[in-house]
A and B are shown apart, each in its own frame.
Chain A
Amino acid sequence: MPVTLHPITIITGKAVPVPGANMDTDRIIPARFLKCVTFDELDGKMFYDERFNADGTSKNHPIDALQHAGAVIIIGGENFGYGSSREHAPQAIKRSGIRAVVAESFAEIFFGNSSGIGLPCVCASAADLESINENLAKHPEAEWTLNLESMQLSNGEKDYPVHMPEGPRNAFLRGRWDSVTELLEAREAVQKKAASLPCPRTMR
């Protein structure tokens, strides 16, 4: 039987800016943190080299600013999650307490990885992101609400429209974002496909 996880509908909390286009997966989680057989050690490692110098001193990234402490929403730029397929990237973000990412656009693989682990990624227009960032600069400690039903990001004063393809959005709202549950249901159809499609095998 497929497992229904908790639906993800409304996310409320502080936001933190991680600006710039093409925020790549090597910056989200440097490769040295990938040397593990679980995702357990990724808590707190997101954007590590963006936040800390080699000697461990702070680069004063907004993530580490007191006003943004405990933020649950990242405000990013264009092509967020560009690069590698490493799920360690959204895992590091999620395990560091982030529950949603708002950006102008997302790299395909990053988006798929995030959706599969229950981390919604929604798009906002460049103009709205600018306004959101201005707002965030003025009121860094403000509470924001991301609503996947109404598809709006709001700070109580202003509502910004956000977008996400219907498929993953439905999956979040229905609590079926872990895709394996639904994929398992079509076992027979998969077996039929497997029988009809060649499988590479060696004669030697």
Chain B
Amino acid sequence: MGKTLYQKVWEAHTVGKLPDGRTQLFIATHYVHEVTSPQAFAMLRESGLPVLHPERTFATVDHIIPTDDQHEPFADRRAQKMISALRTNCRETGIRFFDLPSGQQGIVHMIGPELGISQPGMTIACGDSHTATHGAMGAIAMGIGSTQVRDVLATQSLSLSPLKVRQVRVEGQLRPGVTAKDVALHIIGKLGAQGGLGYAYEFAGSVVQQMDMDGRLTLCNLAIEGAARCGYVNPDETTFAYLRGRPYAPQGADWDAAVKRWKSFASDADAVYDDIVRIDATDIEPTITWGTSPDMSVGISATLPELSHAENDEQKRAWQAAYEYMKFAPGEKMKGKKVDVVFIGSCTNGRMQDFRAVAALLRGRHVAAGVRALAVPGSQMTAKMCEKEGIADIFRTAGFEWRLPGCSMCLAMNPDKLTGDELCASTSNRNFKGRQGSPTGRTLLMSPLMAAATAITGCVSDPREVFINTQL
């Protein structure tokens, strides 16, 4: 009987069984950032424990970093305290910190793959739920809390129980204007925000095989929004081509050996899954959320669901509360809703391919009057490449504020926030109440293509209509 990648990686990293029945799992690569690590370092200090393998932990600063002016000290003294604490903690423990002057700083889920640190067959952990992103490299990658960050720092391992594995097969051909983001939102909408509880998702099928790495990273990033703690894609030639030549990827003779080893982790053809879900690519439209959970979504041409269509009372209550908060009503269309802010960026859609795709559409066009549009590259490396390719200038000319790398408006831990009940077209990952910094702010999750179309017209738009003469 064949095995899944999840099973193979799990077995390769199992240290042993713990007395309580859980597994002690070795963590090959660990990332830390300024928000969830200081408490862990403090716990280490309190108990007098050293960092066991500092060479396996990498640090960056992303959540609290301002994206307009990064000169220190930051205006926000709490933010300054957090970055300073990380500097001290890394210096004292010998952890590599991709600090602001490094040229390699960025959102942790951007730089891990970009630097080639996240590799196939690894177990990867970070105190951030979107660690699922790194699964796109063919790894088991998961978010953990600060006490577990302490566990990894002190023991390079975690106490865990294995997840079940659900294969999500997306078959067929995506229609023009449909991106990895739409695929992810479609899957979450179909399976529910709680649908992945207890599962790791293996994304497979012809659509995923054909998807570039940036798309796969977007897809795995959103596994957690469907409640799957891990998402992954089996490593293949696309993965290897992406990794080749990156700063932390194996080189020379080591490269061939590494590829051979990486291939061995891919799920066997006769692997047995706990569940299989099939998605028809042609069913997927450019997709947008209308509510306060990422599973409250519709295709751009559909109408918002009637309360009577809710599966149960619980869902009905949730929809009702979401309609009230969002100030929308059943039967309405999302298309045409006037937005105040457009945000392109985050660990979900702040990558090269996202900016390339949007730049190709922005030439000769301009952000609508009254719309505040932010474009925030996810890392310094991406920002540099965007400058080099002329992409940054296209965004600036089109009326976007082109910002410095960071998490920005995804989560309201830096100055980029909504005010009042502003409506924001956002390429980020969560539309929770208050997520973007105003307790009454409203978030519409969508792809970079739809965000671009929306920025230009000033209201929620179908990219296939706005860019009718452009190949999407």
In whole angstroms, how far apart are the Cα atoms of A87 and B147 in the complex?
A: 8
Q: Do A183 and B193 have beta carbons less than 8 Å apart? A: no
Evaluate contact between B247 and A116: CB separation under 8 angstroms: no
Q: Which of A38, A194, A200 has the most CB of B within 10 A?
A: A200
Interface string of A87-101 (1 = CB under 8 A from B): 100100000000000
Q: Closest Cβ of chain A: how far from B90's Cβ, in Å? A: 14
Interface residues of A in 145-204 (CB under 8 A from B): 165-168, 170-171, 174, 176, 178-180, 182-184, 186-187, 189-190, 193-194, 197-204
Asked if B20 and A168 sit within 8 Å, CB to CB, the answer is yes
Contact partners of A113 in chain B: CB under 8 A: 144-148
Contact of A30 among B38, B224, B318, B439 (CB under 8 A): B439
B20 and A182: CB pair below 8 A? yes
Q: Does B18 contact A (CB under 8 A)?
A: yes
Report yes or no: A108 in contact with B229, Cβ–Cβ below 8 A: yes
Is residue B168 within 8 Å, beta carbon to beta carbon, of the partner chain? no
**Which residues of A have CB within 8 Å of B248?**
200-202
Residues in A neighbouring B29, C-beta threshold 8 A: 200
- Flag if B39 contacts A180 (CB, 8 Å): no
- Given A49-B433, A186-B157, A202-B248, A77 and B53 contact (CB-CB distance below 8 Å): no
Q: Is the CB of B85 within 8 A of A190?
A: no
Q: A117-B147, A176-B19 are in contact. Are A187 and B155 (CB under 8 A)?
A: yes
* A-chain residues with CB within 8 Å of residue B198 when the two chains form the complex: 108
Q: Determine if A190 and B143 form an interchain contact, defined as CB atoms under 8 angstroms apart.
A: no
Tell me whether A11 is interfacial, beta carbon within 8 Å.
no
Q: Which of B75-83, B277-285, B348-356 forms contacts with chain A?
A: B75-83
| B218: Cβ under 8 A from any A Cβ | no
- Report if A62 contacts B (CB, 8 A): no
Q: Does B395 contact A (CB under 8 A)?
A: no
Is A108 touching B15 in the complex (CB atoms < 8 A)? no
CB distance from B459 to the nearest CB of A (A): 26
CB pair B16 A35 closer than 8 Å? no
Q: Is the CB of A179 within 8 A of B411?
A: no
Interface size on A, residues (CB 8 A): 64
When C-beta atoms are compared, the residue in chain B nearest to A84 turns out to be B129
Cβ of B227 within 8 Å of any chain A Cβ, yes or no, is yes
Chain B residues near A39: list those with CB within 8 A: 39, 146
Neighbouring A residues of B55 by C-beta, 8 Å = 199, 201
* CB-based contact B432/A83 at 8 Å: yes
Known A-B contacts A35-B64, A79-B194, A79-B227; the reply to A87 vs B15 at CB < 8 A is: no
Contact B143 A116 (CB under 8 A): no
Q: Mark B1-36, 1 if CB is under 8 A from A, else 0.
A: 000000000001101101111101010110000011
Would B13 and A197 count as touching, CB distance under 8 A?
A: yes
What's the minimum C-beta distance from B332 to chain A, rounded to whole angstroms? 23
A5 contacts B by Cβ under 8 Å: no
* Closest CB in chain B relative to A148 CB, distance in Å: 13
B148 pairs with A20, CB closer than 8 A: no
Q: How far is the CB of B109 from chain A (nearest CB, A)?
A: 12
In angstroms, Cα B118 to Cα A115, docked, is 28
* Cα distance, A183 to B64, chains bound together (Å): 32
- Whether the pair A21, B19 counts as a contact (CB closer than 8 A) is no
**Contact yes or no, B315 A21, CB < 8 A:** yes
- Which residues 122-151 in B have Cβ within 8 Å of A in the complex? 127-129, 131, 142-148, 150-151
Q: Is residue B264 within 8 Å, beta carbon to beta carbon, of the partner chain?
A: no
Task: Check A166–B21 contact: CB distance below 8 A.
Answer: yes
Known contacts A54-B440, A86-B36, A199-B28: does B78 contact A112 (CB below 8 Å)?
no
Selected A-B contacts with CB under 8 Å, 12 pairs: A22-B193, A31-B412, A37-B85, A53-B439, A90-B145, A112-B145, A171-B20, A180-B47, A182-B24, A190-B156, A194-B26, A199-B56
Binding site for A on B (CB under 8 A): 12-13, 15-16, 18-22, 24, 26, 28-29, 35-36, 38-39, 42, 47, 49, 52-53, 55-56, 63-64, 76, 78-79, 81-82, 85, 115-119, 127-129, 131, 142-148, 150-151, 154-161, 163, 193-194, 197-198, 224, 227, 229, 247-248, 250-251, 258, 261, 293, 314-315, 317-318, 321, 411-413, 430, 432-435, 437, 439-440
